[in-house]
Amino acid sequence: MRGWLLGLLLLLGGSPSLLAQQSDSLPELTITADNPVPVTTVVPVLKPPQVVEMSTTVEEPPAHLSRKERRAWRQERFAQRLDSLVQSRNFIFWPNSMQRYPEGDMHLIYHDYYLLALYVDRVEVHLPVEWGITAYVGVLNFDAAEIEEFAISPMQQGWNIRFRVEKREELYWVDLLVSSHTGETILTLQTPRTTMRYVGVIYPPGQE
């Protein structure tokens, strides 16, 4: 029997020693349990950003669950993916409404070109803003390589992200409130001339 197996291996162009080497070269995979939903611990500012890859495959709940349990399961998975995305410090905010804070009129945004992108090493801003007494609508458009006073802190139902950037000797404060339950994200942007509030969602880069 052993001789027959060796002959089959040689016929297929392989050798026992080569197969043994290939088997030894395979990486060892270690599976660990991880809880991506912190409750009370504030994420340190100096914590290295995590690399998050959001799968486009729809994950289905186990078949034995009831309808109520399936809804709870999907909600839990949604919150976990969103929490991981926030902690990655690598996402794009897409607004669907804007308002001059605090008493301006709310306007819907239909153009998908407006965004605020937060990356590990830079911030990209391309957002509509209202200037002056007549609420003239302009566009704030700049990139900033230095992110200062960056902080992430968990809230009861989501996250708060705060930082500031400087462009042309002007300071811009960014404050993001992200709901882990609904995905709603509120961006408050304080500029030297006005303060704007936007409502939208965040997505991983490349999946917006």
DSSP letters spanning 146-206: -EEEEEEEEETTEEEEEEEEEETTEEEEEEEEEETTT--EEEEEE-SS-EEEEEEEEE-TT
Cα–Cα distance measured from residue 48 to residue 9, given in angstroms and rounded to the nearest whole number: 48
Percent of the chain predicted with pLDDT > 90: 50
Q: For 5-40, what is each residue's pLDDT tens digit?
A: 444 434 444 444 433 444 444 444 444 444 444 443
**67 pLDDT band (50/70/90 cuts)?**
confident
Cα–Cα distance measured from residue 26 to residue 22, given in angstroms and rounded to the nearest whole number: 7
Judged by DSSP in three states, 138 sits in strand
Q: For 198-207, what is each residue's pLDDT tens digit?
A: 999 999 998 6
Per-residue pLDDT at 118: 96
For residue 80, give both structure tokens.
């976990």
Cα–Cα distance measured from residue 172 to residue 174, given in angstroms and rounded to the nearest whole number: 7
Per-residue pLDDT at 22: 41
Across the range 37-64, mean pLDDT stands at 51
Prediction pTM value: 0.69
Per-residue pLDDT at 57: 53
Unique residue bearing structure tokens 């052993």: 2
153 against 67, higher pLDDT: 153
- Average pLDDT score, the chain: 78
Residues 6+ apart with CB under 8 A from 150: 45, 89, 161, 162, 163
Is the pLDDT reported for residue 85 higher than 60?
Answer: yes
